[in-house]
A and B are shown apart, each in its own frame.
Chain A
Amino acid sequence: MLRDVTLGQYFPGNSLLHKLDPRMKIFLIIIYIVTIFSANNPVSFAVVLASAFVLVFLSKIPLKLILKGLKPVFVIMIFTAFINIFWTTGDHLLISWKFIKIYAEGIQYAIFMVVRVLSLIIGSSVLLTYTTSPIALTDGLERVLGPLKVLHIPVHEFSMMMTIALRFIPTLIEETDKIINAQKARGADFSSGNLIERAKALVPIMVPLFVSAFHRADELAIAMECRCYHGGEGRTRMTQLHLHTRDFVVLGALLILLAGIIVLNIIF
């Protein structure tokens, strides 16, 4: 019952975006977000939206899958549009009915905001979550944030925690399945009653799950100690990340896009 949960949303593939260095991707996403937020006129917004779809094309991920992933944010987009339409004031009054006043600027802003959210989500999911395996992502983050160690921020520990969490997700899902079945076999009922009753029915699942998780954590800690784990100090890595030409090509393309948007902002 819990096996169908897809986590991390990683979509394995072999496209250009899949092959990019995870460290570079983290920078790329920052540049891309800056680009999206610098757009402030119809032409540049059109370019931003087009660029999001170019990224989708480069990732070779079916558009359908990405649109499906947009469903949860659909409500947010409608809400944003709604607020912008009714609360923005401007010079060109279009509709005035009782207290409702809709201006042309409001509609324009609403469209801008929707395009912005849309490109933001499509761009970041295609650049990062869909095309980067969770392990590569944590690895990339650890290395990008490495300099923060100087400020005594436990970067390595965070990345280790992420790795272990990812490692244990399938194990704990399996375990939850087992516990649910064991409780069902003893007559537990998880599918009837009101919301509160159902929430209460979860207690006999959560308690054994937590107990076993702590037990596992304890054993894992000893196993890690036995394998000489002593934090990030003096640790080497088997996989070395190398920046390739393609990383710089994509970086260049995104920088040109950013410059283009700024130029477009000045012209229009």
Chain B
Amino acid sequence: MNWRQIYLVLKREYLTRVKSKGFIWATVLVPVGFAAFIGIGVFISIWESDVALQIGVQDETGQVIRLLEQVNEQRYIDYSDIDSDSLRVLVQQDAITGFILITEENISGGKNPELIHSGSGGMEFILSVESDFRQVLREEKLRRADVSEEIQRIYDARISLDTRRLTREGEEQDDDTFFLSIVGFILGIIIFISIFSYGGYITRGVIEEKTNRIVEVIASSVKPIELLTGKMAGVGLLAITQFGVWILAFFGLSAIAGPAALHFMGSSSSPMGAEMAASEAEIPAFLNLPTLEVSLIVYFIIFFILGYLLYSSLFAAVGSAADSETDTQQLMLPITAPIMIAYFIMFHAWRNPDSTLSVIGSLVPFFSPILMVTRIAITEVPFWQIGLSIILMILTFAATMWISSKIYKVGILSYGSTATFKDLLRWIKQS
């Protein structure tokens, strides 16, 4: 192996791609998309309660409307003195969104109240009205039953499960299992997608050299193994560049998103702006996420690189054996199958990170890049499992690289037809 040659190949592979429009767009658009996602989220938080959806309430009992006004003064308007035909006209003219007739039946008889509305507001609105009425009617019923305050409190209490995680070190932590499950799922998918896309870069690059017929010119200067290594390193560096930009953008945007959101919400000139700034001056819930551990990001990078190495040499072998890009399908199968299997196991591992299937799956070298990262994100994976999977991946990489370089060596100089698996076996034996 001559490092100067590898470096020259690496440099070409990297520079020609990093300057390409497609790469620049993808690298920039993902953070822009992420920023847009946050921006839209903030925007929605600011404006969501601002839409004035009003409901006319014709209350025969005279009790319910007062309670409703306490719940949401803007939404519920007392129209008890207007008859229902006029209310219908108001709805038709879009003066109000809908109306509800409350009768004695609704309180003592157990009859459901009926909302007649124009349809604007959607699901969210209907569910919120429903919950308001459930609360108000229950309150009124309890009041009439003349139960003690204590019992009222019992009814009002909302019980949920608070969870805290006890680590092996004996530390109690806020439990972010739900959040981390989503993170693990997303990281798994990122690795899944990136193995395919960077592997695809390699396959296409190899085929391009074959169809352009430059590969023999190159082969008269560079050993195939040097060409292969330089290619894999160049595209790998490209991947690291792209991820680097994305990770920096992700943390940068996350860091400024909270304060920025507060700023906009504080200075928002919406009718409720002042009130919101005073009473609800906190970061919107979806931005208020637990922080990711540095070790998770380190493991993500380690497993991504190992997974990339493991698969990219195989992608190169497929490229060298194919005669055109359309011919790769059949040869791709042995590569895509394990990635797809890992992907499907991930849907299980995401919910049951410590099940036998998840543990064994995450130790299988071809599955580790996806499954181990998902598990590390969600649960506490014993170090021996992480270490073992890293060692197994390195050993497997040595084997795939050995096989791939043999196929590659013969494949790049074979023109005219796409090789079969039988041919590949012969190539491995002959060289």
Q: Do A and B come from one complex?
A: no
Binding site for A on B (CB under 8 A): none
Binding site for B on A (CB under 8 A): none
